[in-house]
């Protein structure tokens, strides 16, 4: 059984069936990509995993427990952390201050901005944040304002902020969207390093096939709300059904 098990999930928006009988099993400590053409239902599926949407029918189990009906922060506390397309960091704060936020939140159960304003006695939080920045190769940038960083480094910081919560499942929604090639390659390297060095499962929605084939061990192809095929990258490459879904070619 996978760490994440999606069974017979259906979701309609009015007359539109956005997800139809979706089954997905994500193996623990693997990198699993979900790909598919525009409108295939990828974001709808992701939103069902993180509590932003509730499926009409079906089940979503994480480590044997249902996530359905739980609030996003409760799902986060279960060990699921997500990174969205647009970096969600505080541009006015330094890199180090940003990194302290999830560490405060984990310690205190919630984050309050004034925690950042008075950090003189917060040696342990600062140390943990610095340690995390070192593992991300960002220690030299710790006093930089995060707004001034490249998109790739903002994404690096944001992924680090997710990791500071010690998640067991990291969900990434197009983590390289809008990035220059060099930043994309840095992000691929970072995610490879995370996957190699940690006990963590990564599920990624991504349009960029270079990213998908560089990282994923399993790929699920969604089309019109339904999984079309699930296989290894080698088998997915050139699969007639995948070509058909993307290019409208006949198999």
Q: Using CB under 6 A as the criterion, which residues of the chain lie in contact with ligand ATP when the complex forms?
A: 13, 16, 18, 36, 38-44
State the minimum distance, in angstroms, from the CB of residue 32 to ligand ATP.
Answer: 16
Of residues 42 and 168, the one with the C-beta less far from ligand ATP: 42
Element (H, E) at 173: strand 169-173
Alpha-carbon distances, residue 35 vs 42, 48, 52, 153, 236 (angstroms): 7, 16, 20, 25, 11
Torsion of CA 229, 232, 237, 238, to 10 degrees: -50
Closest of 30, 11, 80 to residue 220, by C-alpha: 30
State the minimum distance, in angstroms, from the CB of residue 118 to ligand ATP.
Answer: 41
Of residues 67 and 138, the one with the C-beta less far from ligand ATP: 67
Of residues 28 and 244, the one with the C-beta less far from ligand ATP: 244
State the minimum distance, in angstroms, from the CB of residue 223 to ligand ATP.
Answer: 9
State the minimum distance, in angstroms, from the CB of residue 63 to ligand ATP.
Answer: 25
Of residues 42 and 218, the one with the C-beta less far from ligand ATP: 42
CB 26 within 8 A of CB 77: no
How far apart CA 10 and CA 14 sit, in angstroms, is 13
State the minimum distance, in angstroms, from the CB of residue 128 to ligand ATP.
Answer: 35
CB 201 within 8 A of CB 170: yes
Of residues 36 and 175, the one with the C-beta less far from ligand ATP: 36
């Amino acid at each position: 059984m996978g760490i994440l098990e999606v069974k017979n999930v259906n979701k309609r928006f009015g007359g539109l069936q956005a997800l139809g009988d979706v089954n997905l099993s994500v193996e623990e400590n693997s990198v699993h990509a979900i790909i598919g053409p525009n409108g295939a239902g990828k974001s709808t599926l992701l939103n069902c995993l993180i509590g932003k949407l509730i499926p009409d029918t079906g089940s979503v189990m994480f480590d044997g427990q249902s996530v359905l009906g739980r609030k996003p922060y409760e799902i986060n506390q279960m060990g699921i952390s997500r990174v969205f397309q647009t970096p969600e960091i505080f541009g006015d704060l330094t890199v180090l201050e940003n990194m302290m936020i999830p560490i405060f939140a984990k310690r205190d159960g919630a984050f309050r901005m004034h925690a950042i304003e008075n950090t003189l006695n917060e040696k342990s939080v600062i140390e943990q944040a610095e340690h995390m920045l070192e593992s991300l190769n960002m220690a030299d940038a710790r006093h930089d304002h995060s707004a001034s960083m490249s998109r790739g480094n903002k994404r690096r910081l944001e992924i680090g902020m997710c990791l500071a919560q010690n998640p067991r499942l990291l969900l990434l929604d197009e983590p390289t969207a809008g990035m220059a090639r060099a930043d994309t390659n840095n992000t691929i390297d970072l995610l490879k390093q995370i996957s190699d060095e940690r006990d963590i499962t990564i599920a990624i929605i991504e349009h960029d096939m270079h990213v998908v084939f560089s990282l994923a061990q399993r790929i699920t192809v969604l089309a019109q709300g339904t999984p079309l095929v699930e296989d290894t990258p080698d088998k997915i490459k050139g699969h007639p059904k995948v070509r058909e879904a993307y290019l409208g070619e006949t198999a």
